[in-house]
Amino acid sequence: MDWDKMRNQWRDAAPAAPLMAVDELRALDASLWKKVRRRDMVETVAAVVVVIFFALTALGTMAEREWVQAGFALLIVAWAAWLPFQLRRARLAAEVDGRAVSILDHLRRQRDAALEQARMLERVWLWYLTPPATGLVGLTLARDGVTKGALIYIASALLLYAGIAWLNRRTARTRFRAHADTLRRQIRELEQDAG
């Protein structure tokens, strides 16, 4: 994005509108997407570790002819291998080339990208937590049976997952939806000024 060009368009489009300064909006936007890239990198490294660990687990259980355990381990491997691609797809929505679009179009695209990240985080229980939870519960029960230790482990894991889901929903609301609302107000002001 050519921020100098955007600053000039901003001034020309609505010199009297009560808008957030372009430098402030740029800093907010850059900070948010930097955190997304960092999160995705950490998640990708973790996914590689999970793939390796559970692939070895699957191979070991296959060698012992423990097919149910192997199946649940492979479920976790498949999920972890797919995860970086899911994160990348959502992140690419934010990478907007602003050189060929108007300031309004750029802001609309950034708003849509922020909303996509918010929706992804709000549905984290579906695409991020349920597959590995299913694999861990199945693997634990297949390996240990229904024992007190297994049930405590499963309850602890589910409690952790509930915390992760809550934290992701909070982040969706306080960061991405808040950013989308800021962009929405900017867009509305520019549209009213142009109209």
Q: What pLDDT, on a 0 to 100 scale, did the predictor assign at position 83?
A: 94
Q: What pLDDT, on a 0 to 100 scale, did the predictor assign at position 16?
A: 47
What are the structure tokens assigned to 148, written together? Answer: 């007190």
> Would 1 be classed as within a structural domain?
no
> Would 15 be classed as within a structural domain?
no
Per-residue confidence at 7, pLDDT binned at 50, 70, 90? low
pLDDT in tens, 163-183: 999 999 999 999 999 999 999
Per-residue confidence at 9, pLDDT binned at 50, 70, 90? low
Q: Please report how the helices 22-63 and 3-13 are oriented relative to each other, as an axis angle in degrees rounded to 10.
A: 130
Q: What pLDDT, on a 0 to 100 scale, did the predictor assign at position 76?
A: 97
Q: What pLDDT, on a 0 to 100 scale, did the predictor assign at position 40?
A: 92
Q: What pLDDT, on a 0 to 100 scale, did the predictor assign at position 97?
A: 59
Question: What percent of the chain stands above pLDDT 70?
Answer: 84
User: What's the domain range around 164?
Assistant: 20-194
> Would 26 be classed as within a structural domain?
yes
> Would 2 be classed as within a structural domain?
no
DSSP of 125-183, one letter per residue?
IIIIIHHHHHHHHHHHHHHH-S-HHHHHHHHHHHHHHHHHHHHHHHHIIIIIIHHHHHH
Q: What pLDDT, on a 0 to 100 scale, did the predictor assign at position 150?
A: 96
> Would 144 be classed as within a structural domain?
yes
Q: What pLDDT, on a 0 to 100 scale, did the predictor assign at position 18?
A: 52
The residue with greater pLDDT, 90 or 153, is 153
pLDDT at residue 12 tops 90: no
Q: What pLDDT, on a 0 to 100 scale, did the predictor assign at position 30?
A: 81
> Would 184 be classed as within a structural domain?
yes
What are the structure tokens assigned to 92, written together? Answer: 């690419």
> Would 10 be classed as within a structural domain?
no
Domain count for the chain, please give it: 1
> Would 133 be classed as within a structural domain?
yes
Entry pTM: 0.76
pLDDT in tens, 78-121: 999 999 998 888 888 666 555 656 778 888 888 998 999 999 99
Q: What pLDDT, on a 0 to 100 scale, did the predictor assign at position 15?
A: 46
